[in-house]
Amino acid sequence: MTVRVSVIATSSLGDRSYLATDGAVAVVVDPQRDIDRIMYLAGEQGVRITHVVETHVHNDYVSGGLDLARTTGARYLVAAADEVGFDRVPVADGDVVDVSDGLRLRVVATPGHTFHHLSYVLETTADGGWSPTGVFTGGSLLFGTTGRTDLLGQQHADELARHQHASARRLADLLPDGAQVWPTHGFGSFCSATQADAPESTIGREKQANPVFRLAAEQFATEVLAGLDAYPAYYAHMGVANAAGPGPVDLTPAARADADDLRARIAAGEWVVDLRHRRAYAGSHLAGTVSLGLDGPMSTWLGWLIDWGTPVTLLAETPEQVADAQRELARIGIDRPAAQATGEPERWVTDPAALRELPVADFPALAAAQAGHAPAGLPAPQVVLDVRLTSEWRAGHVDGAVHVPLPDLPARLAEIPAGTVWVHCGSGYRAAAATSLLANAGRDVVLIDDVFGRAEAAGVRMAPTA
């Protein structure tokens, strides 16, 4: 029997959901909050969703599983050991779930990412018997890596790392080398220990490429935990929401804000987020706003930076861009923007004096400034601020730079030394957010909109490596 597995990628969060079908009925694995994408795909393929399954209670997004199951009438499979506030079909290690005459799921306990994590082996009929086609591994065995094990608290991280090691090897023992591996995490999500090293994989490939099969349990635990960096603060709210049972998402347009409303919201300490590209933001923006363009992982950084529950207003060039951002934010539990405004920045003010610009530089300009020859029109840097994460900083950084990871910056603005601040990250995206926060605090700033990998070749003085 032929089975088709379709990927529903959510690149902004670094995750994948799946729709597996025999051509008539379908199973959905780890769906995101905005279930309309999945419903559309099922309709396009002409299949009926009969089962929705969760590999674990997710920490990086609000699940759409409960809503999808209720909408379609599908059975909703969740680990029996997880305490949840809704009705589900409880499943545990060894259970076999018949999906159709030629399609079934075999449940395998794979603790590690969480204590009650499950994987689901997809089996199909062949020559009168059942054979495994692949396995949905959630946050367990990923492409060239595994799910991180510290999201439930550092006190559990070492124990879960050892479980993760055993779980990966159990899957390798249970399944043939040709079985496909279909993980949820690993494509940019902070739920993975490191990022995926391939777009697809099999059990056989993982045996060759994945460190979990090369290292003994103790060494694996030590190395995995040593390599973990910070993860988004909003993760603290995702597991709680998913265990309680998320409601349907409302993607109808938010209320429109005029210039007076925007000014009042900024004055009240609310977040007004400019979704345009950072270059457009630098050219002209409403003072007091924060640059988080739709061209990057906007929802991840916004959710990480704000105090949870703070009202968020969205600014963009078009209503379609606001709608895209609203969808992204709903995936992490920011269900409704407080307001929105679209068009050009001139429409968002009553007084043109409320518009600001940001000077922009690149790494050749920083190199020139380090040599005492700041390019015309750019103030010389008294401070170079690096807002990358700690692991990035340790891999190499500008000589004399100050390091404050972007997620820490709102609480540490007062620590930035006096003088003009040139701000960089790995690409310019996070630097734009940091530059806007510093400018809102009254600092003189320059945005370095450049790729950090070009810094040394541009002549920037780098700190000696350890």
At CA 102, angle to CA 99 and CA 106, rounded to 5? 55
What is the side-by-side order of every strand in the sheet holding 312-316?
A: 290-291, 271-274, 312-316, 339-342
Task: List the one residue out of 116, 118, 114 whose CA is nearest residue 105.
Answer: 118
User: What is the pLDDT, as a whole number, of residue 198?
Assistant: 86
Cα dihedral 231, 232, 233, 238 in deg (nearest 10)? -110
Domain borders along the chain are 4-244, 259-356, 360-454
Annotation: CATH topology of 4-244 = Metallo-beta-lactamase; Chain A (3.60.15)
pLDDT digits (tens, 9 = 90+) for 224-264: 999 899 999 999 999 999 999 999 999 999 999 999 999 99
Same fold, 4-244 and 259-356: no
What pLDDT is attached to residue 466? Answer: 65
Q: What is the pLDDT of residue 298?
A: 97
Predicted local confidence at residue 196, as pLDDT: 87
Predicted pLDDT of residue 413: 97
pLDDT for 193 equals 82
Q: What is the pLDDT of residue 425?
A: 98
Structure tokens at 241: 């929401």
- Dihedrals phi, psi of 122, to nearest 5 degrees: -90, 120
Report the pLDDT averaged over residues 151-180: 97
| pLDDT given at position 358 | 97
pLDDT at 444 over 70: yes
- Across the range 417-423, mean pLDDT stands at 97
pLDDT in tens, 77-113: 999 999 999 999 999 999 999 999 999 999 999 999 9
Averaged pLDDT score across all residues of the chain: 96
Please tell me whether residue 90 adopts helix, strand or coil conformation.
strand
Residue 163 burial (C-beta neighbours within 10 Å; 0-12, 13-18, 19+): buried
The residues near 41 (Cβ < 8 Å, ≥ 6 apart) are: 6, 8, 19
Quick one: average pLDDT of 412-418? 97
Q: Measure the CA–CA gap between 109 and 76, rounded to whole angstroms.
A: 17
Domain 259-356 CATH (choose: 3.30.70.100, 3.40.250.10, 3.40.630.30, 3.40.50.2300): 3.40.250.10
- Residue 197: pLDDT over 90: no
CA distance 310 to 360: 29
**Which band of pLDDT confidence, cut at 50, 70 and 90, is reported for residue 314?**
very high
Residues sharing a CB contact under 8 Å with residue 382, sequence separation 6 or more, in sequence order: 417, 418, 419, 420, 421
Question: Of 331, 315, 334, 306, whose CA–CA distance to 277 is shortest?
Answer: 315
CATH fold, domain 360-454, is Oxidized Rhodanese; domain 1 (3.40.250)
If 0-12 CB within 10 Å is exposed, 13-18 middle and 19+ buried, where does residue 46 land? exposed
Are 55 and 34 a contacting pair, CB within 8 Å? no
DSSP labels, 28-62: EES-BS-THHHHHHHHHHT-EEEEEE-SS--SSS-
Contact 429, 453 (CB under 8 A): no
User: Which stretch of DSSP H or E encloses residue 411?
Assistant: helix 409-412
pLDDT of residue 2: 85
| Residues 6+ away with beta carbon under 8 Å from 159 | none
Lookup: tokens for 347: 């429409």
